[in-house]
Chains A and B, each alone.
Chain A
Amino acid sequence: MVLTAGVDIGSLTTKAVVVRDGHLVGAAVLKSGVDSAGIARKALQEALGQAGFKEDSLDGIVATGYGRIRIPFARRRVTEITCHARGIYHLWPDIRTVIDIGGQDSKVILLDDDGKVRDFVMNEKCAAGTGRFLEVMANALEVPVKDMGTLSQQASQGASISSMCTVFAESEVVSLVAEGRPVAEIIKGLHNAIAQRVVAMAQRAGWEEPVAMTGGVAKNLGVVQSLEEYLGTSIRIPPDPQIIGALGAALLAAG
């Protein structure tokens, strides 16, 4: 038996996955905080508890995500790009493009036939097109971020959001609210704006079908639909898209 774990420390959430002989046996998602190492340890313990194992029975731990360097108990550190690619390849070996929208980064990762990273493109140095962008807008609209996907379904058309700068877009959203535009239309407009940004990155990378999406934003049906519309193809979403990076890390820990 080979038992390994992957811990993905993102800017908004920390994820841990335990894998036994290539099968997922435990997973946990916690909110990230200042004490990265403490939260990562807690997430790992939760995932291990689900799987029914103790930490000393692990054969390997790989840390990934932006906080990977701050995890002392990790035996190896691998970037989230490689981990998301590995995680998706495990689920669907035919996928050639992965779109990962996380808290502070969005990425388009191209895979070869063996699931190895062929190329990748990441967002530039700003929050546009990331989970953080959605959080700020949800705050401005006074709606929970988890409800944005469902709310956007109520709109037949999206409001036009011209600016992709988080700061400018927030004031644009406030103006639209003041004009009396329905919240659903504004949210749909925001989803379209994110999708356009990510599709531009995908085109720069030279995306290919089939496409999968990972990361927390993949849970937002509105963003997924907008992306499908602008890409002109369907996107596969894993059952729990948030843990794919940690899953890939756990699989890489097995060698």
Chain B
Amino acid sequence: MNNLMGWLCHYTPVEILTASGYTPYRLLGRKGNNPRAASYLLGNLCPYVQSCLEAALRQELPPLAGVVITRSCNAMIHLANVWPRYGLKGTTLTLNVPRRLDEDAVIYFGLELRRLASELAGTQLNEESLWAAITWWEKQRAAWREVFTSRAAVQCHQSGREIMDALARWQRSLNPGEGEEGTVIINGLARYPCYQNDRRPRLLLAGSILPEELIAMVEECGGLSVFEDSCNGRRLLLAPAAGAEKDPYLYLARLYLGGPPCPRMVGEGEKRYRYWAEAVDRFHIQGVIYHVMKFCDAAMYDFLALKAFCEKRGLPLLRLDGDFSGGNRGQWQTRLEAFLEMLEVQ
């Protein structure tokens, strides 16, 4: 049986996929334009979502048993509508994700997760195996958090590019039954040489999903990414949910809804402000770069909140617009270099 199960949004509970016997495989999009996806999705939708559909239409994805698509933003809802018809053969499962965190939302999301689990497993999922998967993923995330914590030190750390490369590999084909691949990836990072006396400006990179080439380019231009506030970065590293929850679905609901704040959540402005403030203080951030994904409304609002935060803290902020095509290098280069020149002078 082919057991790779695709997922996109970081609100997808990979624990349920693991407990159901699938290997979670994150769809991270593709470079280039998306002419085939344009036949089914409007051009003014999230380019990441479009590129995932394009990858499927071009048969660039490994054989998947199915895909879990969260109805977490407008573009994802559109994708959930067209994927079963045009995407790939296999199951398409959808998941509604609340936009706020309160007890009603937790109960609702818990029910959604229970439904997803029964659809995935085809029967009632064994709670013991779900708790085992939760424990396994928490160990993985704890190891990652340790790696991230080491980046707070001024003298010794991996580059942002190395971290994000490893995180991308970690999000694909990860399963406790397959040689502890995740642990191998995380431990592999420890072997990277330390950057002693690194004088590069320390940067916080933020955005909905950060393109790999942006992080690479920031560091080629002379900056150092030490904190990636994105759904393919820090937001993956959910800390264990507080409280002794006996129901694994409610536990997962609290874990995911209460994780590092995503701009799609409503009424979490203060939490997000505290999150940035802690990152800036702890990671000695000297400048912030925000990648605005074209047509992502949540990112646009998030940018304005971050701008207000940076102005209050006196932190230089650079906004870069991107369309996830890999073709933004020329436009970004001058802006990045000028921003880094400005930071050096300051």
Binding site for B on A (CB under 8 A): 66, 78-82, 105, 116-120, 122, 124-125
Contact = CB atoms under 8 A, between A and B. Distances in A.
Contact of B334 (A81, A119, A125): A81
Contacts of A120: 338, 342
Interface string B321-337: 10000001011001101
Given A124-B321, A125-B321, A117 B331 contact: no
Contacts of A82: 338, 341-342, 345
B25 to A, nearest CB: 32
Majority DSSP secondary structure for residues of B touching A: helix
Nearest to B337: A79
11 contacts: A66-B330, A78-B341, A79-B334, A79-B341, A81-B334, A82-B341, A82-B345, A105-B334, A116-B342, A116-B346, A117-B341
Interface residues of B, number: 13
A117 B321 contact: no
A117 B323 CA distance: 28
B309 to A, nearest CB: 15
A35 to B, nearest CB: 19
A120 B319 CA distance: 10
Given A78-B341, A81-B341, 12 more contacts: A66-B330, A66-B334, A79-B337, A79-B338, A81-B334, A82-B341, A116-B342, A120-B338, A122-B335, A124-B321, A125-B328, A125-B331
A65 to B, nearest CB: 9
A119 B338 contact: no
Contact of B338 (A81, A116, A124): A81
A83 to B, nearest CB: 10
Contacts of B328: 125
B338 to A, nearest CB: 4
A117 B334 contact: no
B316 interface: yes
Contacts of A66: 330, 334
A122 B338 CA distance: 11
B275 to A, nearest CB: 24
A82 B335 CA distance: 11
B34 to A, nearest CB: 17
Most buried by B among A80, A82, A105: A82
Contacts of A116: 342, 345-346
Contacts of A80: 334, 338
A87 to B, nearest CB: 14
- Nearest 8 pairs between A and B by C-beta? A81-B338, A79-B338, A117-B342, A79-B337, A82-B341, A116-B345, A125-B331, A79-B334
A120 B316 CA distance: 10
A116 B346 CA distance: 8
Contacts of B330: 66
Nearest to A119: B316
Most chain A Cβ neighbours within 10 Å, of B330, B338, B341, B346? B338
Interface in B290-339: 316, 321, 328, 330-331, 334-335, 337-338
A218 to B, nearest CB: 19
Contacts of A105: 334
Contacts of A125: 321, 328, 331
